[in-house]
Amino acid sequence: MKFLVTGGAGFIGSAFIRLVLSDPPPKPYVLNLDKLTYAGNLENLASVAGDPCYRFIHGDICDGALVNALIGDEKPDVIVNFAAESHVDRSILSPAPVFETNLRGTFTLLEAARAHQTPRFVHISTDEVYGSIELPYQANEDFPLRPASPYSASKAASDLLALSYFITYRMPVIVTRASNNYGPYQFPEKLIPLMISNALESKPLPIYGDGMHIRDWLYVDDHCRAIRAVIERGRPGEIYNIGGNRALTNIEVVRRLLQAVGKPESLMKPVADRPGHDRRYALSSEKVMRETGWHPQVSFEEGLKRTVDWYQSNPAWIARVKSGEYQSYYQQNYAGR
């Protein structure tokens, strides 16, 4: 089995590569195509860098010639498309790269996979495409798409494009839509790692609006196990929601992580809300559980403990990713809020 993973140097892609390369023999062969944007970090893959079953290719999924030659030469059995501009706040500040990678990049990959008849194409997407969900509903795969940010709109558009390749060309495309992931190696722009790293430095923790927005938290390794189950047992042309079934308000999440690092709640600082901020995400994962047998294994308590322990044990990783570009992003997003 040969995988072409895109965006494998990011948070979830690197967890997926570490997971499949730790499988018992016969191990898959993994090609990782990554542009190494601010979010891509080869340190996340240090544990597999010397593995003969792994190869890194530095490149852009929007580069048609590169992608076409790679897929034509390597003939992967599966393409797993993680590569994306993945952050809502950055997509609000600067939407152009979001549409370039998330939409044109996905299109470029789909075209190359179509030309070379790749047997399986798994497009990794998000519950944010459904937009804010009213209580007490949970979105299943047939829910209407109501993306509210440039990020979620670009993901919804790329999902529909990928699915159109199944309908039109009978390409074996599968789309997965996961809820908010957390775990080790997550870039500290997203809620949990940002709050942990600020708390470790006793810096203020910026809570958008009233902090009562609800997210469904999924431990990253559970997400990766679900993707592996979908590759093995999912049906072409289908969408699979993957949720953690753990809904919490942002305030509650931050309270728990402050407790875990032993810092006071007074570090929380309400700041101006995010424009277009979705109030609540809620997913039904009934279909992926029924069809593949997957279910989440890591409780929020256990996952948060593992995550906090990892950040506490890896100050050098945090310091490196927070140097340089991160500082100007932080200023731009938080100053004057």
Instruction: Encode the chain in three state secondary structure.
Output: CEEEEECCCCHHHHHHHHHHHCCCCCCCEEEEEECCCCCCCHHHHHHHCCCCCEEEEECCCCCHHHHHHHHHHHCCCEEEECCCCCCHHHHHHCCHHHHHHHHHHHHHHHHHHHHCCCCEEEEEEEHHHHCCCCCCCCECCCCCCCCCCHHHHHHHHHHHHHHHHHHHHCCCEEEEEECEEECCCCCCCCHHHHHHHHHHCCCCEEEECCCCCEEEEEEHHHHHHHHHHHHHHCCCCCEEEECCCCEEEHHHHHHHHHHHHCCCHHHEEEECCCCCCCCECCECCHHHHHHHCCCCCCCHHHHHHHHHHHHHHCHHHHHHHCCCHHHHHHHHHHCCC
Closest CB 105 distance from ligand NAD, rounded Å:
5
Known catalytic membership, residue 252: no
CB of 11 or CB of 54, closer to ligand TYD: 11
CB of 172 or CB of 184, closer to ligand NAD: 184
Q: Does 191 bind ligand TYD (CB under 6 A)?
A: yes
Instruction: Encode 93-125 in three state secondary structure.
Output: HCCHHHHHHHHHHHHHHHHHHHHCCCCEEEEEE
Query: How far is the C-alpha of 159 from the C-alpha of 106, rounded, in Å?
Result: 9
Q: Does 88 bind ligand TYD (CB under 6 A)?
A: yes
Closest CB 286 distance from ligand TYD, rounded Å:
22
Known catalytic membership, residue 273: no
Question: With CB cut-offs between 5 and 8 Å by kind, which of ligand NAD, ligand TYD, none does residue 246 bind?
Answer: none
Q: Residues 38, 208, 310, 330: which binds ligand TYD (CB under 6 A)?
A: 208
The one catalytic residue in 60, 89, 127, 222 is 127
CA 283 to chain centre: 16
Give residues in contact with ligand NAD (CB under 6 A).
6-7, 9-13, 33-37, 39-40, 60-62, 82-84, 86, 101, 105, 124, 126, 155, 178, 180-181, 187
The one catalytic residue in 151, 165, 219, 311 is 151
Written as six digits, the tokens of 317 are 């990783």
The one catalytic residue in 60, 85, 89, 128 is 128
Closest CB 92 distance from ligand TYD, rounded Å:
10
Site for ligand TYD in 210-269 (CB under 6 A): 213, 215, 250
Q: Residues 7, 8, 147, 206: which binds ligand TYD (CB under 6 A)?
A: 206
Span of 8-16, 45-53, 208-216, 282-290 interacting with ligand TYD by CB under 6 A: 208-216
Query: How far is the C-alpha of 57 from the C-alpha of 34, rounded, in Å?
Result: 7
Question: With CB cut-offs between 5 and 8 Å by kind, which of ligand NAD, ligand TYD, none does residue 213 bind?
Answer: ligand TYD
Closest CB 170 distance from ligand TYD, rounded Å:
33
CB of 215 or CB of 263, closer to ligand TYD: 215
Closest CB 207 distance from ligand TYD, rounded Å:
5
CB of 124 or CB of 260, closer to ligand NAD: 124
Contact letters for ligand TYD, residues 6-45 (x by CB under 6 A): ----------------------------------------
Known catalytic membership, residue 151: yes
Q: Which residues are catalytic?
A: 127-128, 151
User: Which positions touch ligand TYD (CB under 6 A)?
Assistant: 88, 128, 180, 190-191, 194, 206-208, 213, 215, 250, 274
